[in-house]
Amino acid sequence: MPLIDLTLPQGSISPDDRAKLADELTAVVLRAERAPDTDFFRSVTWAFVHELPEGTITAGGAEPVFRVVFTVPDGALSDRRKQELVSEATRAVSAAAGLGEADGLRVFVIISEVPNGNWGAAGNVVDFEQLREVAAAEREKSAEPAGA
Protein backbone atom coordinates (compact mmCIF):
# COMPACT_ATOMS: atom_id res chain seq x y z
CA MET A 1 0.00 0.00 0.00
CA PRO A 2 2.61 2.56 -0.90
CA LEU A 3 1.73 6.23 -1.17
CA ILE A 4 3.56 8.61 -3.47
CA ASP A 5 3.77 12.37 -2.95
CA LEU A 6 5.33 14.23 -5.86
CA THR A 7 5.91 17.95 -5.34
CA LEU A 8 6.97 20.08 -8.29
CA PRO A 9 6.92 23.69 -9.46
CA GLN A 10 3.94 24.73 -11.55
CA GLY A 11 4.57 24.37 -15.26
CA SER A 12 7.81 22.38 -14.89
CA ILE A 13 6.23 19.23 -16.37
CA SER A 14 3.34 19.20 -18.85
CA PRO A 15 -0.01 17.76 -17.66
CA ASP A 16 0.37 14.70 -19.93
CA ASP A 17 3.92 14.09 -18.71
CA ARG A 18 2.80 14.52 -15.06
CA ALA A 19 0.21 11.77 -15.52
CA LYS A 20 2.80 9.51 -17.19
CA LEU A 21 5.28 10.25 -14.39
CA ALA A 22 2.75 9.35 -11.67
CA ASP A 23 2.09 6.09 -13.50
CA GLU A 24 5.82 5.39 -13.85
CA LEU A 25 6.50 6.16 -10.17
CA THR A 26 3.75 3.68 -9.30
CA ALA A 27 5.49 1.00 -11.35
CA VAL A 28 8.86 1.94 -9.79
CA VAL A 29 7.66 1.54 -6.19
CA LEU A 30 5.81 -1.70 -6.94
CA ARG A 31 9.00 -3.14 -8.50
CA ALA A 32 11.08 -2.01 -5.51
CA GLU A 33 8.63 -3.64 -3.10
CA ARG A 34 8.50 -6.74 -5.35
CA ALA A 35 4.73 -6.38 -5.42
CA PRO A 36 2.99 -7.54 -8.59
CA ASP A 37 2.04 -4.74 -10.99
CA THR A 38 -1.62 -5.77 -11.07
CA ASP A 39 -4.89 -3.87 -10.98
CA PHE A 40 -5.26 -4.68 -7.27
CA PHE A 41 -1.83 -3.39 -6.24
CA ARG A 42 -2.18 -0.32 -8.46
CA SER A 43 -5.55 0.38 -6.81
CA VAL A 44 -3.89 0.55 -3.37
CA THR A 45 -0.91 2.61 -4.58
CA TRP A 46 -1.95 6.23 -4.59
CA ALA A 47 0.00 9.09 -6.14
CA PHE A 48 -0.59 12.65 -4.97
CA VAL A 49 0.85 15.28 -7.30
CA HIS A 50 1.37 18.68 -5.69
CA GLU A 51 2.08 21.37 -8.25
CA LEU A 52 3.01 24.54 -6.38
CA PRO A 53 2.89 28.09 -7.77
CA GLU A 54 6.08 29.82 -8.86
CA GLY A 55 8.08 31.15 -5.92
CA THR A 56 6.75 28.65 -3.36
CA ILE A 57 9.62 26.18 -3.79
CA THR A 58 13.07 27.62 -3.20
CA ALA A 59 16.46 25.97 -3.29
CA GLY A 60 19.01 28.72 -3.63
CA GLY A 61 18.42 29.35 -7.30
CA ALA A 62 15.94 29.77 -10.10
CA GLU A 63 16.12 26.17 -11.34
CA PRO A 64 13.08 24.00 -10.55
CA VAL A 65 13.49 21.33 -7.87
CA PHE A 66 11.42 18.22 -7.28
CA ARG A 67 10.58 16.09 -4.23
CA VAL A 68 9.22 12.56 -4.22
CA VAL A 69 8.14 11.00 -0.92
CA PHE A 70 7.35 7.30 -0.88
CA THR A 71 5.42 6.10 2.18
CA VAL A 72 5.83 2.34 2.50
CA PRO A 73 5.36 -0.35 5.14
CA ASP A 74 8.30 -0.68 7.53
CA GLY A 75 10.52 -3.49 6.34
CA ALA A 76 9.12 -3.56 2.79
CA LEU A 77 12.41 -2.35 1.34
CA SER A 78 15.91 -3.65 1.98
CA ASP A 79 18.80 -1.21 1.65
CA ARG A 80 19.37 -2.50 -1.90
CA ARG A 81 15.71 -1.96 -2.79
CA LYS A 82 15.78 1.53 -1.29
CA GLN A 83 18.74 2.37 -3.53
CA GLU A 84 16.83 0.95 -6.50
CA LEU A 85 13.78 3.06 -5.62
CA VAL A 86 15.79 6.27 -5.22
CA SER A 87 17.73 5.68 -8.46
CA GLU A 88 14.69 4.80 -10.55
CA ALA A 89 12.52 7.61 -9.14
CA THR A 90 15.30 10.14 -9.78
CA ARG A 91 15.68 8.84 -13.33
CA ALA A 92 11.91 9.05 -13.97
CA VAL A 93 11.55 12.60 -12.61
CA SER A 94 14.67 13.76 -14.42
CA ALA A 95 13.42 12.38 -17.72
CA ALA A 96 9.96 13.92 -17.30
CA ALA A 97 11.42 17.32 -16.38
CA GLY A 98 14.13 17.25 -19.04
CA LEU A 99 16.94 17.31 -16.49
CA GLY A 100 20.46 16.16 -17.32
CA GLU A 101 22.81 13.98 -15.28
CA ALA A 102 24.38 17.06 -13.69
CA ASP A 103 20.96 18.04 -12.28
CA GLY A 104 20.63 15.07 -9.93
CA LEU A 105 20.60 17.25 -6.80
CA ARG A 106 17.43 18.91 -8.06
CA VAL A 107 15.49 15.71 -7.34
CA PHE A 108 15.10 14.64 -3.70
CA VAL A 109 13.62 11.24 -2.87
CA ILE A 110 12.49 10.49 0.66
CA ILE A 111 11.39 7.08 1.91
CA SER A 112 9.06 7.16 4.90
CA GLU A 113 8.45 3.82 6.57
CA VAL A 114 5.26 3.22 8.55
CA PRO A 115 5.40 0.68 11.40
CA ASN A 116 2.86 -2.13 11.29
CA GLY A 117 -0.32 -1.12 13.09
CA ASN A 118 0.06 2.57 12.18
CA TRP A 119 -1.69 2.51 8.80
CA GLY A 120 -5.39 2.12 8.20
CA ALA A 121 -7.77 1.82 5.28
CA ALA A 122 -11.48 1.07 4.95
CA GLY A 123 -11.85 1.73 8.67
CA ASN A 124 -9.38 -0.98 9.65
CA VAL A 125 -5.75 -1.17 10.64
CA VAL A 126 -3.78 -2.68 7.78
CA ASP A 127 -1.67 -5.73 8.62
CA PHE A 128 1.34 -5.65 6.31
CA GLU A 129 1.91 -9.39 6.67
CA GLN A 130 -1.48 -9.96 5.06
CA LEU A 131 -0.44 -7.69 2.17
CA ARG A 132 2.75 -9.72 1.75
CA GLU A 133 0.65 -12.88 1.58
CA VAL A 134 -1.64 -11.32 -1.04
CA ALA A 135 1.41 -10.20 -3.05
CA ALA A 136 2.90 -13.70 -2.88
CA ALA A 137 -0.38 -15.23 -4.04
CA GLU A 138 -0.61 -12.71 -6.91
CA ARG A 139 2.97 -13.49 -7.98
CA GLU A 140 2.22 -17.23 -7.94
CA LYS A 141 -0.96 -16.68 -9.90
CA SER A 142 0.79 -14.62 -12.58
CA ALA A 143 3.61 -17.19 -12.81
CA GLU A 144 1.21 -20.05 -13.59
CA PRO A 145 1.16 -21.14 -17.22
CA ALA A 146 -1.92 -20.12 -19.21
CA GLY A 147 -4.72 -22.65 -18.91
CA ALA A 148 -3.32 -24.19 -15.74
Three-class secondary structure of residue 51 per DSSP: strand
Is residue 131 included in any domain, yes or no?
Answer: yes
**The domain that contains 119 carries what CATH number?**
3.30.429.10
**Is the pLDDT at 109 greater than 90, yes or no?**
yes
* 96 CB-contact burial (10 Å; exposed 0-12 / middle 13-18 / buried 19+): buried
How many domains in the chain? 1
Instruction: Give the DSSP H/E element, type plus range, for residue 42.
Output: helix 39-43
- Nearest Cα neighbor of 29 from 123, 100, 94, 113 is 113
**Is the pLDDT at 148 greater than 60, yes or no?**
no
Is residue 99 included in any domain, yes or no?
Answer: yes
**Is the pLDDT at 135 greater than 90, yes or no?**
no
Is residue 107 included in any domain, yes or no?
Answer: yes
How much is the pLDDT for 136?
Answer: 76
Is residue 70 included in any domain, yes or no?
Answer: yes
Is residue 108 included in any domain, yes or no?
Answer: yes
How much is the pLDDT for 63?
Answer: 83
Q: Which domain holds residue 91?
A: 3-143
Is residue 148 included in any domain, yes or no?
Answer: no
Is residue 37 included in any domain, yes or no?
Answer: yes
How much is the pLDDT for 122?
Answer: 83
- Biggest alpha carbon distance in the chain? 59
Mean pLDDT over each residue of the chain, to the nearest integer? 90
- Averaged pLDDT, 100-127: 90
Give residues with Cβ within 8 angstroms of 107, minimum separation 6.
65, 66, 67, 68, 89, 90, 93, 94, 97, 99
